[in-house]
Structure formats: C-alpha cells, structure tokens
A and B are shown apart, each in its own frame.
Chain A
Amino acid sequence: MSVSNPNWKPKIVAFCCNWCSYAGADLAGSGRMAYPADVKIIRVPCSCRVNPLFILRAFERGADGVIMCGCHPGDCHYTSGNYFARRRMTMLFSMLDYLGIERGRTRVEWVSAAEGAKFSKTMNEFVKTIYDLGENRKLGDLRCKK
C-alpha cells in the first residue's frame, strides 16, 4: 500500500505483561539494545488482561499495528493466563483476517524476562512490517481522531 504522507510515522502499541515481557523490554533497555521509538508499551498485569477489545480500540484510535507480548506458555505468573490469551488472540486474528484486514498488523510474541535481545529483535521486525504495510486505513475510525 502506498504511503500518501511522506512524514508518516507508524503508531504501534505493544501490550507487555508485567512479569516477563515488560522486564524483557527493561533488559533490552539496560543492555542498550535499540528498538524503534514508534513502539508504545502498555504494561498489563498479564497477557490475559488484554481484552480483544483493547486491540480493536487501539486500531480505532489510530494505531497502525498492535503486538501483544507475554510469558512463554507454561511460564505464566498466574499459571494459566497466557493459555487463555492465546486462544482469544487466535480467534481475534482469524476474524480480522476474515474481514480482509492485512495480516501482519497484529502479532503475538512470547518474550521472557531474560530475552532482552528477543524483545529488541521482535520490535524491530514488527515495526519494519508496519512500515511496509503503510498506514492503517481499513480498521480506523475517523470519529475517534482528533
């Protein structure tokens, strides 16, 4: 998709769970591993806290990509939260795909507290995908834009 505005910068929302991925992001920071500033992190207690509506709401308010990070399956701080989150996100992504929304605007990645390098790599990849896809036009809601 062509980018109409040459100054366009993507808005990317990353939901990170408090126990693994947020700590992973922290480690990426203290380890001086760069990731793009387009990514805005929202800390959640568990990936299971991410209601599918949060993701839709982010798109509605103008996000171009949304990524959710949580503990690796089996390592959830609350035992089973990310298992439920996994099913929910699978269903949501499938529905977005069914409605013809570009693949790649949504992603789930499991990042542990020790994986600062993985966090940085994932974010760099994801931001690149969003740059390639261009502005999100299919899922936004102009009524929400100021």
Chain B
Amino acid sequence: MVHTVNDTPMCAEPRPPLTRADLKADRPTWCPGCGDFSVLAIYHKLLEKKNLPQESIVTLSGIGCSSRFPYFVNTHSVHFIHGRILPFATGLSLSRPDLHPIVFIGDGDAYSIGGNHFDHCARKNVRLMVVVMDNQVYGLTKKQTSPTSPVGFKSKTDPWGSKVAPINPTKKLVSSGATFVARTAASNPNHMLEMMEAALEHDGFSVVECFSECVQFNPGSFDAAVPRKGGSYPPVPADHDITDEEEAYALTREPFPGYFGIYYKVDRPTLNETETGLAADPVSDSDPDAVRSRLEASLRRLT
C-alpha cells in the first residue's frame, strides 16, 4: 500500500522517538578495534538525540572502509562511486531541501580522488554536513599511502617510507571557503558527538575532520592524541575567535596532534539560498497549467 505524501500528511500522527533499534542495520564489516565503530555509534547517538524524521535522513558515502557506513545505519542511503559523493550530495541538497543529507567519507575520497569537489563545495557553501574519517592510510585496498599519510609512512606503495608532504586538511578546508571546520577524533566519543551536533546545526558546508584509527594497517597512528596512551587531546583555546580566518590558520599550523574543536565557523549565503532566488515568479509543477503557460510564453517569443 502506497500513499503519496500529499494525500497523507506524514507527521500527522505523533511518533515515538527514534531509537537505536530503529537505526540498527547490517552488522558492520570493519576489523575489530577499528575507529569507525566509534564514529558509527556516535552517528546513531546523534540521530537519536536530534530525533529527525527517519525518512528525512539520507546517509551518503563514497568508496573505502569508512564508506561502508550507509549499510550499517537504517536510513535512506547511497553508496556512490569513489570521489564523487560531494557533487552527488550537492544535487540532492539543492533539489530536496526537506532532507538531511549527511556524508561519511575517508581521506582518500575527501582529499585525493575527490579533492577538487571538496574545494568547490566549500567555495559554493552547499548546505551539507561531511564527516571525514581520516585514518591516514588506504585500508580497503590493504595499505597504500594516503594523502594524509605522514612523511616516512611505510606502505605497499612507499616501502621506503613516504617522501611527500601530506595534505593539511583543516588548512585546506579553511582556505577553500568551508564555513564550518572542526577537528575531532574517534577516540573521544563525547567530543565527536559535540562536533557532529554543531556541524549538523550549521547552515552551510560543514566539515568534521575526524581521526579514526586503522588498527590493521596504521596502528598507533593517533596515540599522540589519546591521553590514556600517553598522548594529549588539547582543546581549541577558549579565547579562539572561530569567525577569524587568520586565527583559524594559526590553529592549522600547530604540530601533530594539534588542537581539537571548532576551528572556523562563519555565516555566508548557501548555494541552496542563492539558487532559489533566481526567478521572480517561478511556477510550480503542482500547477501544470501554469507550467504550460510559462513554456508557451517562451516558445511564442520564437515564432
């Protein structure tokens, strides 16, 4: 039995709140101990906490270990091709303002094969939330160098140790115009939830750069950011002005593990906003006669 939404108001009857059971889907296929489990658990928690209508959430991903994400959460979901999920999500975000598209991708998708799209989504300020699960290695293909692998990282494609400088994700994001840039780690679930919540609430292109350890191919990579392993998890200083681009750059220059928290957050018109205001008196498909008259008028000018 299928009803159109127009016939039956979707939220007419009161609904029980969204629970973890509602969101549970396939059993994750990640290796035991993978940081991605923690990101998934926090995503479930975020959705429970925000209690959005389940059908309005769209979980999207590219290709990689982290991008298996959509199968493990029970929402409308898309597992797209490598590198292109950001423009895909752009098309969805622009054409369906009623939905909540949330993207989970890895460092390969975000900063290598799809790097160009990251710059342009940021510049255009597409209304979209992105979580980059950065493990500094290509895990699904079993240990090749990633764009965030540090110099000296030994992999199957750099057995002598990587010789090229990695990308600095937060610096790149601030410079390309992202209006929300935050940094967190899967090892700190409470902080991760706080950052994701802030990102979801931001009206614009919001990115959470999130360390997520690959225990199989890059173990111990983020120990310096884990206090119980002798590292430190320095929060963004309390006096940091999140609207100041220069201050944000200063944070991005800190040596590893750097600061965790919101680096940058400004308000700028979103692409979604600027695209909707382009015609003075648009007609709607719900009024077919108006659509035909509009087209008729355009064609009359060519007679």
Do A and B bind?
Answer: no
Q: Which residues of A pack against B, CB within 8 Å?
A: none
Q: Which residues of B pack against A, CB within 8 Å?
A: none
